[in-house]
């Protein structure tokens, strides 16, 4: 028979020819096979979880969870088909399963937090509940599509949250009264400040007016003195100009006389100077002729030597450059090798560190699982770890080795028991003193046997020591 599932359904087929469970939307179902149709539509579950905080304060957590199979994970669908599909999607079995998981995780989480922490960190509390419930539902192939955790509600007879609301309202009202009082205070202070500033500004303007009046009077007196000074300076300057003109006229007359005398001397010396210049030109031409001759003889030789030296210097420079390049290349290769070695060492240490982190995380998860299983009993956890690791056996072996070669002296004494009841308190006191005196000699004998120490002379001597 050919079976076809609806859009929100799957076929779970088992039987001959199928190793475990075959999921399909449509398939042939043979007589030797069994087919179950299950719905994967999400279902809403509404709860009112009653929990108790660390201070033993009860509260109610209303919640609406939309839960359904994980349709994008074939393994989760197979798990859901194996465990949940025999029951109806909205049956009491599934409802009780989901409700039990949610109530259990909520109560465990609430018991580890105070009411103040739950109330102030409501968002974190809801997220923790969501994560822990999802972790438990994973083993049934279910996923939480949506979780609407409502506001925490008081249990009848325990009005903790209502009292917190009243406290917030009273704090807001008190803060409003304080704000009104502060506004009135600022208004009165501002009015007083404005009046004071008006008086201060009026006094300041009067003072500035008097200062400006005095400044204007002083500036007038200064201008009068300045005009008189400029007139006097102008008169002195004109007198100085007349004296300067007379001096310049005398200097020009002397200069003209000197120029006439110099012209006569220059005319006399010009002929001699011209003769000397012509002689100098002749000597320069002779020297230039000799210089050209010497250049012709020695310049070619010097040019050849210069070219030779330049070629040798270039060859030596080329050799040194190649040697330097070889050394540089060798150092670069050494640096690259060292860097590769350093990278390898860094990668090794990084992987070792990641391994240590993973080991520490696994050990932490292991210890947390043990501690949850032992209901947070640290003493039981310690005893389990010591037994599991063989610590008690190692301690016993060490103690056995420690006392193996010892030959301890063990002394046991008993001064006898006193039976019967005495009628008075003084009789009991005397009996205790008598018991103390009976116990003292065996104790002293034991100390002497084990350590060789004699008791003080005022106590007495031991018979064993005298013998």
**Among 37-46, 370-379, 424-433, where is mean pLDDT lowest?**
424-433
Indicate the residue among 158, 188, 219 that finishes a domain.
158
Query: Is residue 258 scored above 70 in pLDDT?
Result: yes
Dump pLDDT digits (tens) for 98-139. 888 888 887 888 788 777 777 676 777 778 888 888 888 888
Phi/psi region, residue 452 (left: phi>0; alpha: psi -120 to 50; beta: rest), is left
5 neighbors 11 (Cβ within 8 angstroms):
yes
Residue 92 maps to a domain: yes
The set of long-range contacts for 87-92, using a CB threshold of 8 Å and a minimum separation of 24, is 89/38, 89/39, 89/41, 89/43, 90/43
Provide the percentage of residues in the chain whose pLDDT is more than 90: 0
Mean pLDDT confidence for 289-304: 70
Confidence at residue 164, expressed as pLDDT on a 0 to 100 scale: 63
* Structural domain for 441, as ranges: 408-416+424-466
Q: And the tokens for 136? A: 């438990």
Residue 334 maps to a domain: no
- CA-wise closest residue to 108 among 164, 49, 63: 49
**Among 146-150, 210-214, 393-397, where is mean pLDDT lowest?**
146-150
Q: And the tokens for 419? A: 């039976």
Q: Three-class SS of residue 23?
A: strand
Element (H, E) at 245: helix 160-373
Q: And the tokens for 423? A: 């009628």
Phi/psi region, residue 420 (left: phi>0; alpha: psi -120 to 50; beta: rest), is left
Dump pLDDT digits (tens) for 142-181. 888 887 777 666 566 556 666 666 666 677 777 877 877 7
Indicate the residue among 140, 158, 176 that finishes a domain.
158
Tally Cβ neighbours within 10 Å of residue 30: 13
Element (H, E) at 9: strand 9-15
| DSSP state at residue 25 | S
Query: Is residue 209 scored above 80 in pLDDT?
Result: yes
Indicate the residue among 102, 132, 158 that finishes a domain.
158
Q: Three-class SS of residue 51?
A: strand
Confidence at residue 160, expressed as pLDDT on a 0 to 100 scale: 61
> How many angstroms from the chain centroid is the CA of residue 67?
38
142 neighbors 68 (Cβ within 8 angstroms):
yes
Confidence at residue 155, expressed as pLDDT on a 0 to 100 scale: 61
Confidence of residue 339 (pLDDT cuts 50, 70, 90): confident
162's CB contacts (< 8 A; 6+ apart) are 154
25's CB contacts (< 8 A; 6+ apart) are 4, 5, 10, 11
Query: Is residue 45 scored above 70 in pLDDT?
Result: yes
**Which CATH number fits the domain that encloses residue 105?**
3.30.479.30
Residue 431 maps to a domain: yes
Provide the percentage of residues in the chain whose pLDDT is more than 70: 83
Query: Any idea of the CA torsion for 152, 155, 156, 162, to the nearest 10 degrees?
Result: -40
Element (H, E) at 15: strand 9-15
Confidence at residue 403, expressed as pLDDT on a 0 to 100 scale: 65
Mean pLDDT confidence for 421-429: 56
Query: Is residue 358 scored above 60 in pLDDT?
Result: yes
Burial of 156 (0-12, 13-18, 19+ CB in 10 A): exposed
36 neighbors 3 (Cβ within 8 angstroms):
no
Residue 166 maps to a domain: no
Residue 60 maps to a domain: yes
| DSSP state at residue 438 | H
59's CB contacts (< 8 A; 6+ apart) are 50, 51, 52, 53, 110, 115, 118, 152, 153, 154, 155, 158, 160, 161
Confidence at residue 313, expressed as pLDDT on a 0 to 100 scale: 81
Burial of 65 (0-12, 13-18, 19+ CB in 10 A): buried
Mean pLDDT confidence for 271-297: 78
Confidence of residue 426 (pLDDT cuts 50, 70, 90): low
Total tally of structural domains belonging to the chain: 2
Confidence at residue 331, expressed as pLDDT on a 0 to 100 scale: 85
Query: Any idea of the CA torsion for 296, 300, 305, 306, to the nearest 10 degrees?
Result: 90
Burial of 63 (0-12, 13-18, 19+ CB in 10 A): buried
Query: Is residue 249 scored above 80 in pLDDT?
Result: yes
Confidence at residue 408, expressed as pLDDT on a 0 to 100 scale: 58
Distance CA 421, CA 198 (A): 104
Q: Three-class SS of residue 48?
A: strand
In a 13 Å sphere around the CA of 294, the CA atoms on its Cβ side amount to 6
Residue 154 maps to a domain: yes
pTM score: 0.35
User: What share of residues in the chain are helix, strand, coil (percent, to 5)?
Assistant: 70, 10, 20
Beta strands 142-149; 33-39: pairing state:
unpaired
Average pLDDT, the chain: 77
Q: Three-class SS of residue 390?
A: coil
Q: And the tokens for 55? A: 């201070």
Confidence at residue 422, expressed as pLDDT on a 0 to 100 scale: 47
Q: How far is CA 149 from CA 52, 69, 106, 109, 117, in A?
A: 17, 21, 11, 15, 17
Residue 112 maps to a domain: yes
Mean pLDDT confidence for 300-319: 77
More confident residue, 239 or 157: 239
Distance CA 125, CA 103 (A): 14
Distance CA 45, CA 99 (A): 8
**Among 246-260, 264-278, 311-325, 425-439, where is mean pLDDT lowest?**
425-439
Confidence at residue 420, expressed as pLDDT on a 0 to 100 scale: 47
Confidence at residue 53, expressed as pLDDT on a 0 to 100 scale: 73
Confidence at residue 112, expressed as pLDDT on a 0 to 100 scale: 81
Q: And the tokens for 340? A: 């590769």
């Amino acid at each position: 028979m050919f079976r076809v599932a609806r859009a929100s359904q799957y076929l779970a087929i088992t039987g001959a020819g199928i190793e475990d469970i075959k999921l399909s939307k449509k398939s042939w179902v043979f007589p030797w096979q069994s087919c179950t149709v299950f719905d994967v539509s999400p279902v809403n579950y509404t709860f009112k979880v009653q929990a108790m905080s660390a201070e033993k304060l009860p509260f109610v957590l209303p919640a609406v969870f939309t839960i359904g199979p994980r349709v994008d994970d074939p393994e989760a669908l197979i798990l859901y088909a194996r465990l949940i599909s025999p029951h109806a999607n909205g049956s009491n079995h599934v409802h009780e399963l989901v409700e039990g998981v949610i109530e259990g995780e909520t109560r465990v989480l609430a018991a580890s937090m105070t009411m103040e922490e739950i109330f102030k960190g409501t968002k974190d509390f809801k997220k923790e509940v969501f994560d822990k419930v999802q972790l438990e539902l994973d083993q049934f192939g279910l996923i939480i599509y949506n979780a609407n955790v409502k506001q925490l509600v008081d249990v009848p007879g325990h009005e903790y949250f209502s009292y917190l609301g009243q406290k917030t309202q009273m704090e807001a009202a008190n803060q409003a009264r304080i704000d009104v009082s502060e506004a009135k205070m600022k208004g009165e202070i501002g009015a007083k400040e404005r009046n004071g500033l008006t008086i201060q500004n009026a006094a300041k303007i009067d003072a500035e007016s008097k200062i400006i009046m005095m400044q204007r009077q002083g500036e007038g007196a200064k201008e009068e003195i300045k005009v008189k000074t400029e007139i006097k300076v102008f008169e002195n300057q004109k007198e100085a100009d007349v004296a300067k003109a007379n001096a310049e006229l005398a200097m020009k007359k002397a200069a003209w006389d000197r120029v006439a005398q110099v012209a006569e001397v220059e005319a006399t010396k010009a002929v001699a100077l011209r003769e000397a210049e012509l002689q100098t030109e002749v000597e320069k031409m002779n020297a230039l002729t000799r210089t050209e001759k010497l250049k012709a003889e020695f310049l070619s030789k010097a040019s050849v030597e210069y070219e030779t030296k330049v070629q040798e210097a270039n060859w030596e420079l080329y050799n040194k450059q190649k040697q330097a390049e070889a050394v540089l290349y060798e150092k670069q290769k050494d640096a690259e090798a060292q860097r590769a070695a350093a990278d390898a060492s860094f990668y090794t240490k990084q992987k070792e560190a990641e391994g240590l982190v993973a080991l520490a995380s696994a050990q932490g998860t292991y210890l947390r699982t043990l501690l949850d299983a032992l209901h947070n009993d640290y003493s039981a956890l310690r005893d389990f770890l010591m037994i599991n690791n063989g610590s008690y056996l190692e301690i016993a072996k060490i103690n056995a080795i420690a006392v193996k070669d010892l030959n301890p002296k063990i002394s046991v004494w008993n001064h006898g028991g006193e039976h019967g009841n005495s009628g008075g308190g003084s009789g009991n006191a005397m009996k205790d003193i008598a018991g103390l005196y009976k116990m003292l000699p065996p104790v002293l004998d034991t100390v002497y046997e084990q350590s060789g120490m004699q008791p003080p002379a005022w106590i007495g001597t031991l018979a064993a020591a005298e013998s």
